[in-house]
Amino acid sequence: MLKEILSGDSCAACRVCCVFDREDSWEMPLISPELAEEIKRETPGVKITRTAGKYGVFEAEYGEDGLAECPMLTEKGCRLGERKPFDCRIWPFRVMRKGNMLLLTLSPVCETVSGLPVSKISQFAAKNADKIFEEARKSPETVKAYIDGYPVFAVREV
């Protein structure tokens, strides 16, 4: 979906969204029970901790630099390919909630997308917002609380 505005080459050269420090550990993707089973089968040793609700999250192993790479990250990119968790498939967009509204926001961490003309980002959001909100409604655990300052590109009722 994001290929329209974010090329695979840009992601491969950056990978910032797949590396976490302790402050942004909330950004780690939520793993559905089905995907967790597949990951455990295919990559024994990867630890997934249950979070609130039915989802899990990778157990972070922080290095001396204070950073933890997602265990699905390889030299060639994400080993999950098209099976990436919802959080990763819509990144750098985030679905957030404020009151009874769902907001499609854009993380400022992705410099590539944040550097695009606003008109291009808005066009993409207008075209894909319904699909993204629909998926978020099916998995409310993936919806984050709104963070002040995140630019909002689409709004719907919960």
Binding site for ligand SF4 (CB under 6 A): 18, 29, 70, 72-73, 78, 80, 84-85, 88
Contacts 24+ apart (CB under 8 A), 120-127: 120/5, 121/5, 121/153, 122/153, 124/4, 124/5, 125/93, 125/153, 125/154, 126/153, 126/154
Phi, psi of 65 (to 5 degrees): -80, 0
Smallest distance, ligand SF4 to C-beta of residue 76, A: 11
Kindly state the smallest distance separating residue 51's Cβ from ligand SF4, in Å.
15
Whose CA is closest to 147, among 52, 27, 53, 31? 27
d(CA 57, CA 25): 10
Output the smallest distance, CB 101 to ligand SF4, in A.
26
- Is the CB of 28 or the CB of 129 nearer to ligand SF4? 28
Judge if the upstream peptide bond of residue 140 is cis by omega within 30 degrees of 0.
no
C-beta closer to ligand SF4: residue 67 or 155: 67
If the CB atoms of residues 39 and 96 are measured against ligand SF4, the closer one turns out to be 39
**Distance in Å, CB of 83 to ligand SF4, minimum:** 9
Complex with ligand SF4: residue 111 or 130, whichever CB lies closer: 111
